[in-house]
Amino acid sequence: MRVLAAMSGGVDSSVAAALLAEQGHEVVGVTLKLWGGESDTGCCSVSDVEDARRVADLLGVEHHVFNFGDAFDERVVAPYVNDHAVGLTPNPCIECNRHIKFDKLMVRAEALGFDAVATGHHARLETTGDGFRVQRGVDTAKDQSYVLYMLGQEQMARLLLPIGHMTKAEVRERAADLGLRTAAKPDSQDVCFIANRSGGRRGFLSRRLGDSPGTVVDADGTVLSSVESVRAVTIGQRRGLNLGGTDEPRYVTDVDIAASRVTVGRREDLYTETQPVTAIQWADEPVGGPVDIQVSAHGTPAVGVVDQAGRVDWEEPQRRVAPGQAVVFYQGDLVAGGAFAA
């Protein structure tokens, strides 16, 4: 097969490309240049591109750089900012997968004559009946199936996930055996286009949206404190609310952007029997019965039933999910679908 291997310059995608080359595929490596601004991870930096290129050289595969900066700004960064402006807590990695890696890159790969695209995600693809499902990676601590829930059948048919059957330790060991310069490179973390040294998420949002100072109130409306930016506050958040010491920890239970008001309450106030969701999508047919539902990248799933009308009914009450976060449905370790918390 002729495979376009997305190579970020990290160890996972390096080994993914190496395995494919080893299996005899005709591999071409590509590094996406997505972000030209500041970043802590060095993602998209010249040194990452150089790492990817040198790994490709070692593997004897050609390497290209695609500048998807405009699409990334338009489809990932701008929606991230706009979502925050209306009080949502988006997951930009998921939108990058949805619009950049598994849409724009896949379309380009097909146009350029590739049979498949490969990435270094810790997840597997399982054949079920006449279709595909995303399956959790073998390394459950590193499993990235959550950020792949949006994959449709057509995309899965053209996708390879070569390292999903390996643990991270095995990936690093393999990289070291192959002499890859990325073998000991630290894992990337946080949002790649936000730099902690420039005020992190709050600094980024205030530069884009201006400040959004607000008050922190309790359920009765009593003003407790103030925050510099309501837009950077998320449901369930406990820190950074300037509450000082309280007897019992207090959590954000509501964020009202229009009123510039954050409401806090007790832990139990966060719990709910139903979770509204939107933009439900399924890998295959909708599942009517109970599914395991995961609401954060590495969270523990809870059982619930998805109502197509836009609701998850929990078997046991669960903490409310910040609107905008992905809610991913599993059957066993297979991804059945997902949605956004509303």
Partner 1 sequence: MAADSIAYLDNAASTPLCPEAVEAMAPLHRELYANPTGAHKMARDTRRRIDDARDVMAEALGSEPGEIVFTGGGTEGDNLAVVGRHMQVGGVTVCSAIEHHAVLEPVEHLGGRVVSVDATGVIDLDGLTAALDDDVSVVSVMLANNETGMVQPLVQVAEAVRSSAPNAVLHTDAVQAFPWLDVASLAADADLISVSAHKFGGPKGVGALVVRDGVELSPLLLGGGQERGLRSGTHNAAGITGMAAAAEVVLKSRAEQVVRLAGLRDLLVDGVQGAVPDVVETGERSGKVAGSAHLCFEGIESEALLFLLEDAGVYASAASSCSSGAQDPSHVLAAMGYDRMLAGGSLRLSLGYETTETDIDRALAVIPGAVARLRDYGTG
By CB under 8 A, name the binding residues for partner 1.
Answer: 31, 33, 45-46, 49-50, 53, 64-67, 69-70, 104, 106-113
- Based on CB atoms, which residue is closest to partner 1, 74 or 313? 74
Q: How far is the CB of 43 from partner 1 (least distance, A)?
A: 12
- Name which of 107 and 223 has its Cβ closer to partner 1: 107
Smallest gap from Cβ 67 to partner 1, in A, equals 4
44 is catalytic: no
Q: Smaller CB distance to partner 1: residue 114 or 204?
A: 114
Rounded to the nearest whole angstrom, what is the least distance from the CB of residue 119 to partner 1 in the complex? Answer: 17
Closest CB to partner 1 among 4 and 334? 4
Residue 239 Cβ vs partner 1, minimum distance, rounded to whole Å: 37
Encode 107-158 in three state secondary structure.
HHHHHCCCCEEECCCCEEEEEECCEEEEEECCCCCCCCHHHHCCCCHHHHHC
93 is catalytic: no
Question: CA Rg, the chain, in Å?
Answer: 21
Pick between residue 29 and residue 276 the one whose CB is nearest to partner 1: 29
Number of alpha carbons in the 13 Å side-chain half-sphere of residue 280? 19
Determine whether 188 is exposed, middle or buried from the number of CB atoms within 10 Å of its CB (0-12, 13-18, 19+).
middle
Instruction: Point out the catalytic residue in the list 43, 44, 93, 96.
Output: 96
| Residues 18, 197: Cα–Cα separation, whole Å | 34
Smallest distance from partner 1 to CB 23, Å: 22
- Kindly report the backbone phi and psi dihedral angles of residue 125, in degrees, each rounded to the nearest multiple of 5, phi listed first: -115, 125
- DSSP E strand stretches across the chain: 2-6, 26-33, 62-67, 116-118, 123-128, 131-136, 159-160, 214-217, 223-227, 251-256, 261-265, 271-282, 290-294, 302-307, 311-319, 326-331, 334-341
Q: Which residues does the annotation mark as catalytic? A: 96, 192
